[in-house]
Amino acid sequence: MLHRESYIERKVTDHATANGWRSYKWSSPNNRGVPDRLYFKAKKVIIIEFKAPGKRPTKLQLATHRKLEDQGFNVHVIDDIEAGKRLFA
């Protein structure tokens, strides 16, 4: 079954918070293209860009991901609930 991006984000976030992660929606009005969510637990940070199944990040999003990766952060692009849940194992 294919799900909307918002549904995938909600299910993965529910799983993460149930396992002790803090979750924050990332909204940066002057910096479009930032990933959707930040998750924090025990000095770890997980950054996720959520997409509907089979969808890819925009060029602006990819450019932002590269900037974060240049600073040593991984940005995960997730379009599947189970793949998202595995990040919090």
Q: What is the pLDDT of residues 45-82, one digit of tens each?
A: 999 999 999 999 999 999 999 999 999 999 999 999 99
- Quote the domain boundaries for residue 78: 5-86
Q: How many CB atoms lie within 10 A of CB 59?
A: 9
3 state DSSP class of 24: strand
Cα–chain center distance at 34: 10
pLDDT at 1: 65
CATH number at residue 55: 3.40.1350.10
pLDDT at 2 over 90: no
Number of folded domains in the chain? Answer: 1
* Single pTM value for the model: 0.93
Query: Is the alpha carbon torsion for 16, 33, 8, 52 positive or negative?
Result: negative
For residue 50, the tally of other CB atoms under 10 A from its CB is 22
